[in-house]
Amino acid sequence: MTATNMDDLVSLCKRRGFIFPSNDIYGGMKGLYDFGPMGVELKMNLKNSWWKSIVYERDDVEGLDSTILTSPLVLNHSGHEDTFTDPLVDCRNCKSRWREDQIENGECPSCNSNDLTDSRPFNLMFKTAIGPVDDGTSYAYLRPETAQQIFVNFRNIIDSTSRTPPFGIAQIGKAFRNEITPRNFIFRVREFEQMELEFFVKPGSDDDWHKYWVEKRLEWWSKQGVNSQKLKLLEVKKQELSHYSKATFDIMYEFPHGLEELEGVANRTDFDLGSHTKNQKDFKINSKVKENKDSTTKLAIQDLETKEWFIPFVIEPSAGVERGVLAVLNEAYTVEESNNRTLLKLKSHLSPIKAAIIPLKRNNHDLVNLANKVKSGLQSLGLGRVMVENTGNIGKNYRRHDEIGTPMCLTIDFESLENQSVTIRDRDTMKQERVSLSEIGNYYSNYFKD
């Protein structure tokens, strides 16, 4: 089951501390959201799961954490200063602004007027002054994608790790886009995070690697609890491809507001490394890149057999963290009328709280002591956030933990003190089971296997 509409998710997220409008007490700012106590855990768990599958479980990917502030030279040579735009249309009547593809039948979506301007390119990058003098000459951009800094660090990484293609560089971090119309909760925002892998391959092997990464990424989303029936693969039409792409597959998901892009998997060819490289004329570069007189570095690799230098092609799976969070929340959202409850059936590795430990009686010294002991035992298994709920209200705690997706609640009662056992209640089945304290470690390890 999923949410019937976005409002259900927005309201649960606010009520239970997942996501709040940013700058809320000053009226908020459009397209900006903050992740609260539950949201920060869910987001971190999703990012950790991505990192684990992309970096730790493989032997051909290195990690990177680069700066957000990016030199205009980088974003000039990457093509973003010239082409990272959306077509903007103004309504002369109500003064609203739209992306051209949001206009239907030549009418303003807000006031229905036909008095619209022609569309013109609007650059989505945020610019900011650098240094103490703001005279317009010294500035940087907030990066619109994490990818460019990966390309710019390519030489540093191959020199320090001796990697040769095929290999990848992964990065998770903030990206900023001055979207014309941010909308649909955290789906389209102006500040977001991306999980990006740039996978460098020999020219000629790129089409096979492209297929490989599309499959891998679909598998990963399904391991996050996203129903594969709700994922659709869309090949982007040639005329709609980004300036760097030879082919792109968008992984589309049925969000509450419609079928939209969750992740893009692009074949960026040798465009980016080619654009940032010094002495381009020394190489056969497949894509059209600007002449580069600014770079100091040759971003090419020598084929050890043929001794020829070549610029690798790049396959890029690029996923938005916020869109991922929205998809997994939507998938997990369940209303059980018969039990009069709402719950999040999150995969246990994504749950913000891994276990709630509830002493039967509030402030009872012996029960709380045992609860704390159980908590440290569970945390030593590397489970993440485990909470002791010292309120004495079991029913209320069950309701809250169902709604935030805690897989299990452990109740400590007076019998626990006598025979060292606890009652474990499963979120999805609501079944309760008595488990001895010495068995809890095994019990949890089995539960969190996936």
Q: Using CB under 6 A, list all residues that contact ligand ATP.
A: 177, 179, 188-189, 192, 194, 261-264, 318-320, 322-323
Which residue's Cβ has the minimum distance to ligand ATP? 320
CB atoms within 10 A of CB 413: 18
Q: Closer to ligand ATP at the Cβ: 146 or 421?
A: 146
The three-state secondary structure class of 98 is: strand
Half-sphere exposure of residue 74: CA atoms within 13 angstroms, side-chain side:
21
The C-alpha atoms of residue 83 and residue 122 are separated, in whole angstroms, by 9
Give the nearest distance from C-beta 237 to ligand ATP in angstroms. Answer: 13
The C-alpha atoms of residue 385 and residue 388 are separated, in whole angstroms, by 10
Q: Closer to ligand ATP at the Cβ: 186 or 358?
A: 186
Give the nearest distance from C-beta 31 to ligand ATP in angstroms. Answer: 8
Give the nearest distance from C-beta 77 to ligand ATP in angstroms. Answer: 18
Give the nearest distance from C-beta 199 to ligand ATP in angstroms. Answer: 15
The C-alpha atoms of residue 88 and residue 235 are separated, in whole angstroms, by 25
72: tokens are 């205009």
Q: Closer to ligand ATP at the Cβ: 195 or 388?
A: 195
Give the nearest distance from C-beta 171 to ligand ATP in angstroms. Answer: 13
**Can you give the C-alpha Rg of the chain in angstroms?**
25
Q: Closer to ligand ATP at the Cβ: 28 or 441?
A: 28
Give the nearest distance from C-beta 111 to ligand ATP in angstroms. Answer: 25
Q: Closer to ligand ATP at the Cβ: 320 or 407?
A: 320
Give the nearest distance from C-beta 4 to ligand ATP in angstroms. Answer: 23
The C-alpha atoms of residue 232 and residue 221 are separated, in whole angstroms, by 12
Q: Closer to ligand ATP at the Cβ: 181 or 292?
A: 181
* 118-123: Cβ within 8 A, 24+ apart: 118/89, 119/87, 119/88, 119/89, 120/87, 120/88, 121/85, 121/86, 121/87, 121/88, 122/85, 122/86, 122/87, 122/88, 122/180, 123/81, 123/84, 123/85, 123/178
Q: Closer to ligand ATP at the Cβ: 189 or 311?
A: 189
Alpha helices in 52-198 (DSSP H): 72-77, 80-83, 147-152, 154-161
